[in-house]
Structure 1
Amino acid sequence: MATEEDVRRLALALPETTEKPSYGTPGFRVEDRLFLRLRTDAEGWLVVFVADQGEKEALLASAPDRFHTTPHYDGHASVLVDLDAVDVDELSELITDAWRARAPVRVRQRFEAERDGDV
């Protein structure tokens, strides 16, 4: 089970990430591009941006106990993640993928180079 503290720790560890309210809830941005936010109106749920609709549909089909959507998010490349149903390793992967989907190319390339030890 992952927590809001895990979300904050993992998100803020990524380059150029800041926390800034979004729709009245904690949001996380890479160079002011929102890539995830906590939902206080649905406690324990995290809105996570994904690369595209195909990835959204794949996540929803793969684990309906962990991933969900609502009509509000129809046509939007994001899913709702039940923090009670994911572990920290899966959460880390989801957050990093969301960050990659929204990060500017130069920031993402620098991150990948540092991660691969090319810097």
Structure 2
Amino acid sequence: MVSLDDVAGMATELPGVVELERHGSRAWAVQGTTKRGGPKVFAWERAFSKADIRRYGAETPPDGPILAIRVADLHEKEAVLAANTGAFFTIPHFDGYAAVLVELDEVTEAALRDAILDGWLACAPPELADRYRAG
């Protein structure tokens, strides 16, 4: 089991990352990457809305902490979901959106660390990502 504090440690060890609050939940972003110079969120705590829960119907949704993580594009999303069955999943609300959901109670630390790095790489400015890869 991985906690949100573990997520924070993994995310904030990457260059330029700040933790912030978004919609009352924890999120991690790369500073200065939006068009206006603000932080671009690459991972965030994602509670299920009432609509999300209704879409599960008779099936029981995961009840532990859920993390959303950006991916580079929809092709990468499909690859991540295919390679990480179990802990990684999506919901209808995320259809057409380049992000995956992760059950923190089910994911391994190594798989989560890789996903967080990939999310960061998807949002980091190219020069910062290149420096990180070279370092």
TM-score normalised over the length of structure 1: 0.87
The 1-side partners of 2:121 and 2:92 are apart by 25
Runs of 5+ consecutive residues of structure 1 not aligned to the other structure: 115-119
What does the per-residue CA deviation read over 1:16-55, in whole Å, with 9 as the maximum and x for residues that have no partner?
0001112221110012011000124464110000111011
The 1-side partners of 2:74 and 2:22 are apart by 22
Q: CA RMSD in A?
A: 1.4
Runs of 5+ consecutive residues of structure 2 not aligned to the other structure: 32-38, 49-62
Mapping 1:71-82, distance limit 5 Å: 71-82=92-103
SS at match of 1:57: helix
Mapping 1:6-25, distance limit 5 Å: 6-25=6-25
User: What count of residue pairs does the alignment treat as equivalent?
Assistant: 114
Mapping 1:39-118, distance limit 5 Å: 39-41=46-48, 43-114=64-135
- Please report how far the alpha carbon of residue 11 of structure 1 lies from its aligned counterpart in structure 2 after TM superposition: 0.3
TM-score normalised over the length of structure 2: 0.78
SS at match of 2:105: helix
Based on CA coordinates, which of the two structures has the bigger radius of gyration? 2
The 2-side partners of 1:107 and 1:62 are apart by 27
SS at match of 1:58: helix
The 2-side partners of 1:100 and 1:8 are apart by 16
2:44 aligned partner, one-letter code = R
Shifted more, 93-102 versus 35-44: the winner is 35-44
